[in-house]
């Protein structure tokens, strides 16, 4: 795997839009981009950070959220407003997540903007809604998203895998304690973007910490790890420590073996 500005047909690009936890300011809140088309979670602020990564808001085909905590979702109203009123108008964005996602997102929009502006956003974007649950796999715009239920302080919470065609599988833990769903996600991923909220000690609220990540890295040697959702930064052998706007081109397994 290499940090690079190039794009090749046999790779999938991962861009970390936000690498910090909810409160410390270690980085922007959780958001990750696959190529320039699939967004996992919507912290950041995404509508500011995407252009800094060289990606237009209008390029997104799919936004998927892992759970309903503020640091993973509260920039959705601004992202959808930017999509509806700034730059190229491209209807048909798909928004996916656990049961209750549509109601949750519309509540955020109504609270943030009021009914009139929400009506204009819905009219201009014509969003499609995608329900994701444990062991469900859905394909949107050429990307297959697999969901696994995980344990967190709010429910429902999902981890995801994202794959374009026969390319590499990129996994996203969301926020999760150690559990079977997290392990299933790691086992099927070539590259795993995994939260590491705690550093020197276990973290509260259904989160992972560095000691658990070291165990997971040892248990799944075929999977490469990117650690994110950070309160602080250090080093973990065998893992890449994320930062905002980190971009990685992940090689397709059939092209050159495991991710480099």
More confident residue, 252 or 31: 31
In the sheet that 158-164 helps form, which strands lie side by side, from edge to edge?
Answer: 137-140, 143-149, 158-164, 169-172, 191-195, 224-228, 239-241
**pTM for this model (two decimals):** 0.93
- The model's confidence at residue 260, banded by pLDDT at 50, 70 and 90, is very low
Q: Band of the pLDDT at 1, cuts 50, 70, 90?
A: very low
Q: Could you tell me the pLDDT band of residue 254, with boundaries at 50, 70 and 90?
A: low
Q: What is the mean pLDDT of residues 34-62?
A: 96
Q: Which residue has the higher pLDDT, 3 or 149?
A: 149
The helix/strand/coil state of 17 is strand
Q: Identify the pLDDT of residue 88.
A: 86
Q: Which residue has the higher pLDDT, 58 or 4?
A: 58
- Spatial strand order of the sheet with 246-251 comes to 2-3, 246-251, 11-18, 31-34, 38-40, 62-64, 94-97, 128-131
pLDDT score, position 259 = 45
Q: For residue 125, say if its preceding peptide bond is cis, omega within 30 degrees of 0.
A: no
pLDDT at 257 over 60: no
27-31 mean pLDDT? 97
What local confidence, expressed as pLDDT, does residue 4 receive?
A: 38
| Domain architecture of the chain: domains with CATH | 2-256 (3.60.15.10)
At 9, is the pLDDT very low, low, confident or very high (cuts 50, 70, 90)?
low
User: How far is Cα 247 from Cα 34, in angstroms, rounded to an integer?
Assistant: 10
What average pLDDT does the segment 158-184 reach?
A: 97
Q: Which of 68, 64, 80, 7 is closest to 32 using CA atoms?
A: 64
């Amino acid at each position: 795997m290499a940090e690079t500005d190039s794009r090749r047909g046999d790779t999938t690009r991962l861009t970390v839009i936000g690498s910090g936890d909810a409160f410390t300011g270690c980085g922007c809140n959780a958001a990750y981009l696959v190529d320039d088309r699939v967004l996992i979670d919507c912290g950041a602020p995404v509508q500011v950070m995407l252009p800094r990564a060289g990606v237009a808001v209008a390029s997104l085909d799919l936004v998927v959220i892992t759970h309903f905590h503020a640091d993973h979702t509260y920039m959705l109203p601004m992202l959808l407003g930017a999509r509806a009123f700034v730059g190229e108008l491209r209807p048909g964005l798909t928004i996916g997540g656990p049961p209750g996602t549509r109601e949750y997102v519309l509540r955020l929009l109504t609270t943030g903007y009021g009914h009139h502006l929400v009506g204009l956003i819905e009219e201009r974007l014509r969003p499609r809604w995608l329900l994701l649950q444990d062991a469900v796999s859905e394909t949107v715009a050429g990307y297959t998203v697999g969901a696994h239920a995980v344990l967190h302080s709010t429910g429902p919470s999902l981890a995801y895998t994202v794959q374009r065609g026969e390319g590499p599988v990129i996994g996203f833990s969301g926020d999760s304690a150690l559990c079977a769903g997290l392990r299933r996600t790691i086992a099927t991923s070539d590259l795993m973007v995994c939260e590491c909220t705690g550093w020197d000690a276990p973290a509260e609220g259904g989160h992972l910490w560095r000691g658990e990540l070291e165990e997971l890295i040892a248990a799944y040697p075929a999977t490469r790890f990117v650690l994110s959702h950070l309160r602080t930064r250090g080093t973990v052998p065998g893992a890449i420590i994320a930062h905002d706007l980190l971009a990685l081109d992940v090689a397709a397994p059939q092209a050159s073996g495991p991710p480099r």
